Amino acid sequence: MTADAALVCRCLTGDPTACREMVERFRADIFAVCNRLLSHVHDAEDVTQEVFLRIFRSLRRWDSTRPLRPWVLGITVNRCRTWMGRRAKNPELADYLHETPDHRPTDDSTELRVEIRAAVDDLRDEYREVFVLFHESGQSYEEIAEAVGRPVGTVKTWLHRARLELLDRLRSRGLVPDEPTADTPHSGSRQ
Amino acid sequence: MFQTNRLPTPHTRGVDNETMVMMHTTDFDDHKRSKGEQSSASESLDNNQPLPPLCRQTVDQLQCVLDGELPRTALDADPHPSSCPACRERIAAAKLLFSILSMPVNVAPLPIGLTDKIVASVLADRQVERRTQIRRRAFVFAGGLAVAAGVFLAVWLQWFDTSHQNNLVQNPEIATAQPTNPIPEPPHLVTTSPPVRLGDEFSKAEHALLGSSRPITEPATVAPQVLVKLTDVLTRPPEPTPEFEPARMSLIDLPEAARTGLQPVTATTQKAFARLLRDVGAVQTSAKPN
């Protein structure tokens, strides 16, 4: 029996210590994914709580022959989608009050990170999910495919497109440093 | 902002480079055709405008490096970007993205007390779910018990009826002859009544209803006549009212009437008073003290 299966078995017996262990094991990843996908700390906290409720309710349905983390992240992504859909239907009037601007002095790297974050936020939901899971949560293609419920090829396609859009946005914003290279004629290049 | 600075390693991916490039090109094209949605910004990099083979190779190599399939040095080893400004910009943007992804991240701090809150909500939810399960099981058990009791009762009644019929068939003298039992049996238990047939009963009820229709409908036919009689009063011409003589012509005759009316009374009173005096005098004369 794997460590995941043992932990799940202990949780199913109603052991509060096992519940706490499970929460402590996945809370950071779940909260990070929620925070990145929702771009809202309070929403991320609420959704993290919902995700754990869902996890503990459906622990019996978990296939013990498969890894636990993609299953957990799949529930997380689904809850985030549901939350985003609900938020799109009922937009808050004073949403701007939630995110107060940070007036700390920023350097170039911070500006770049903010720019990339904005670019990631502008991606389509599917692209953003796979980008966050791949580059920020460090999940493999197979794990992401299981989490989002799509084939591996589709995940790769989405990730590919997400990167292309990001690179193009960085280029269009002029964030790519100019290179002092000599202009050499090239017949096959696009302008 | 970014949680980790982990970049995918070739060991974790398990897909070789060729497969990777093929997947990117084929899946990407299929997806593009099926969706038909693409921002204008990325269309410049997309396959609507087919890239030259060298640029395509550079872009695919770039994706492989971002996937962790190839080391970053593979970007520098490609000679094509040096002669292609577009690919040079792509490589520069990819390096910028790499540098951002590789930076030490600003981990979003977990809210204080999040773990305790989650554990408390999970335990509370479990209790609620347990109560719901207990209630559901109790309902199921009670329902099953009721069904079992009903089935048992039906079976017992069937068995009782069958055994009773068999007893009567096997021992017909029970139904005809009087047993030695000194207690006389009621007649309805001894004689076997014919089974009730619903068709017969319904036909009987129908006949009874048809037979009783006349007295039921008779008053209904009388009702219009009663109504005519009632309304006839309203249509008849008014009859002349008889004139009555007044009891007294005027109030002047009233003292005389009172006097004549009270006369017998006063005479009687006088007579009674006179008799009282007479009796009292007789008592005083006859009763002498000793």
| Cβ atoms of A137 and A73 closer than 8 Å | yes
Q: What percentage of residues in chain A have a pLDDT greater than 70?
A: 81
Amino acid B146: pLDDT: 94
User: What 3-state class would DSSP assign to B6?
Assistant: coil
Of B84, B60, B61, the residue nearest B71 (C-alpha) = B61
User: What 3-state class would DSSP assign to B117?
Assistant: helix
The whole-number average pLDDT for the span A135-156 is 87
| B13 contacts A175? CB cut-off 8 A | no
pTM: 0.52
Q: Name chain B contacts of A171, Cβ cutoff 8 Å.
A: 89-90, 93
CA nearest A144 in B: which residue? B13
> What per-residue string of b and e applies to B263-275 under the rule 16 or more CB within 10 Å gives b?
eeeeeeeeeeeee
Q: Measured between CB atoms, does B98 come within 8 Å of chain A? A: no
Length of chain B: 290
| Cβ atoms of A52 and A19 closer than 8 Å | no
CA distances from A19 to A22, A64, B1, B126 (A): 5, 17, 28, 11
The token duo for B188 is: 């309805």
Q: Name chain A contacts of B102, Cβ cutoff 8 Å.
A: none
What whole-number distance in Å separates Cα of residue B90 and Cα of residue B212? 103
| B24 contacts A112? CB cut-off 8 A | no
Amino acid B142: pLDDT: 93
| Cβ atoms of B5 and B101 closer than 8 Å | yes
Q: What is the CA radius of gyration of chain A?
A: 20
Distance, in angstroms, between B88 CA and closest chain A CA?
9
Amino acid B148: pLDDT: 93
Amino acid B265: pLDDT: 62
CA distances from A134 to A4, A160, B7 (A): 22, 11, 8
The token duo for B47 is: 């396959």
What whole-number distance in Å separates Cα of residue A178 and Cα of residue B237? 122
The token duo for B142 is: 């009670």
Amino acid A113: pLDDT: 74
Residue with tokens 């554990």: B119
Q: Which residues make Cβ contacts (< 8 Å) with residue A66, sequence separation at least 6?
A: A146
> What per-residue string of b and e applies to B38-76 under the rule 16 or more CB within 10 Å gives b?
bbebbeebbeeeebbebbbebbbbbbbbbbbbbeeeebe
| Cβ atoms of B1 and B101 closer than 8 Å | no
Residue spans of chain B under pLDDT 70: 1-49, 102-107, 172-194, 196, 212-224, 227, 230-266, 284-290
Higher pLDDT, A146 or B108: A146
| A136 contacts B93? CB cut-off 8 A | no
Q: Name chain A contacts of B67, Cβ cutoff 8 Å.
A: 156, 159
Residue with tokens 């910004």: B41
Interchain CB contacts (distance < 8 Å): A and B: 178
Amino acid A72: pLDDT: 92
Q: Which of B1, B89, B118 sits opposite A49 (nearest CB)?
A: B118
Residue ranges of domains in chain A: 3-88+107-172
| A23 contacts B63? CB cut-off 8 A | no
CA distances from B197 to B168, B190, B201 (A): 21, 21, 6
Q: Which of A164, A172, A187 to probe by mutation at the B interface, max B CB count within 10 Å?
A: A164
Domain A3-88+107-172 sits in CATH at: 1.10.1740.10
Q: Which of A27, A172, A184 sits opposite B41 (nearest CB)?
A: A172
Number of H helices, E strands in chain A: 8, 0
Distance, in angstroms, between A90 CA and closest chain B CA?
25
What whole-number distance in Å separates Cα of residue B53 and Cα of residue A189? 10
Q: Name chain B contacts of A124, Cβ cutoff 8 Å.
A: 37
What whole-number distance in Å separates Cα of residue A166 and Cα of residue A164? 5
Q: Which of B4, B88, B90 sits opposite A179 (nearest CB)?
A: B88
What whole-number distance in Å separates Cα of residue A43 and Cα of residue A31? 10
Amino acid B140: pLDDT: 93
Amino acid B218: pLDDT: 58
What whole-number distance in Å separates Cα of residue A165 and Cα of residue A120? 9
Higher pLDDT, A145 or A88: A145
Amino acid A108: pLDDT: 64
Q: Which of B12, B55, B115 sits opposite A27 (nearest CB)?
A: B115
CA nearest B123 in A: which residue? A16
Q: Measured between CB atoms, does B22 come within 8 Å of chain A? A: no
Q: Which 156-195 residues of chain B touch chain A by CB within 8 A?
A: none
Backbone angles phi, psi at B8, to 5 degrees: -65, 140
What whole-number distance in Å separates Cα of residue B239 and Cα of residue B236? 9
Q: Name chain B contacts of A67, Cβ cutoff 8 Å.
A: none
Residue with tokens 């009987």: B204
| Cβ atoms of B92 and A175 closer than 8 Å | no
| B118 contacts A27? CB cut-off 8 A | yes
Residue with tokens 């869902």: A54
The token duo for A179 is: 């290179």
Single-letter amino acid, residue B28: F
Distance, in angstroms, between A131 CA and closest chain B CA?
11
The whole-number average pLDDT for the span A5-13 is 89
Summarised one tens digit per residue, pLDDT across range A102-112 is 444 456 667 77
The token duo for A92 is: 């808050």
Exposure on the CB side of residue A140, measured as CA atoms within 13 A: 12
Amino acid B274: pLDDT: 87
Amino acid B237: pLDDT: 67
Question: Is residue A117's pLDDT more than 50?
Answer: yes
Higher pLDDT, A186 or A37: A37
| A168 contacts B82? CB cut-off 8 A | no
Burial bucket for residue B32 (CB in 10 Å: 0-12, 13-18, 19+): middle
